[in-house]
Amino acid sequence: ERKLGLRASSTCSVMFEDVRVDASDILGTVGEGYKYCIKILNEGRIGIGAQQVGIAKGCLDVAMPYLMERRQFGDRIANFQGMQHQYAQLATELYGAELMVYNAARMKEQGLPFVKEASMAKLYASQVAEKAASKSIEWLGGIGFTRDLLAEKFFRDCKVGSIYEGTSNMQLSTIAKIMQNETSPSG
């Protein structure tokens, strides 16, 4: 398939028509397929969050050396206070996203309820990755808009983070629903 991003990952349609499955070949319990799918999606959100953290780190890995090398007005771009605030803010947000992903993974591994945390981690990590990708292109200037560096690839690859394994709006709905369930109504 021709995709915007994640071009190294194969994507294809699978269609089943008039398929019959023998009872001995059924995986799991009949009628529980939806539950299995949701469980897989909930777990997969941690992995998507980790993927998005990796993309955001890649953006900084590409942009920071350039900011340290490129000079304007007799000084490195990285030394300008306005630029320092931007990359320090992004690094802080990236650290927060990474901790959220690790925490969701830890909770899942310990058998604790983790769906809210996985949704939060995926949501936030995808937001941070999009910001990192956009900022890295800006910071790299004209070269960031070319295919000479990985910035444009990261920009394309991160967009799907807000779509698959549940859109960002679905993550917000999931988080809100769990928060409501966690809050007992009084009276």
Q: Which residues pair with 71 in a beta bridge?
A: 76
Token readout for 100 is: 């959220």
Token readout for 26 is: 């059924």
Tell me how far apart the alpha carbons of residues 74 and 54 are, in angstroms, rounded to a whole number.
Answer: 33
Answer left, alpha or beta for residue 160, where phi above 0 means left and psi between -120 and 50 means alpha. Answer: alpha
Tell me how far apart the alpha carbons of residues 39 and 32 are, in angstroms, rounded to a whole number.
Answer: 11
Amino acid at 50: A
Token readout for 142 is: 């004209």
Token readout for 43 is: 């777990």
Token readout for 185 is: 């109504």
Residue whose C-alpha is closest to residue 173's, from 102, 98, 115: 115
Tell me how far apart the alpha carbons of residues 61 and 48 are, in angstroms, rounded to a whole number.
Answer: 20
Residue 32 annotated as catalytic: no
Residue from 98, 130, 152, 165 carrying the catalytic annotation: 165
Q: Which residues pair with 75 in a beta bridge?
A: 72
Q: Which residues are designated catalytic?
A: 165
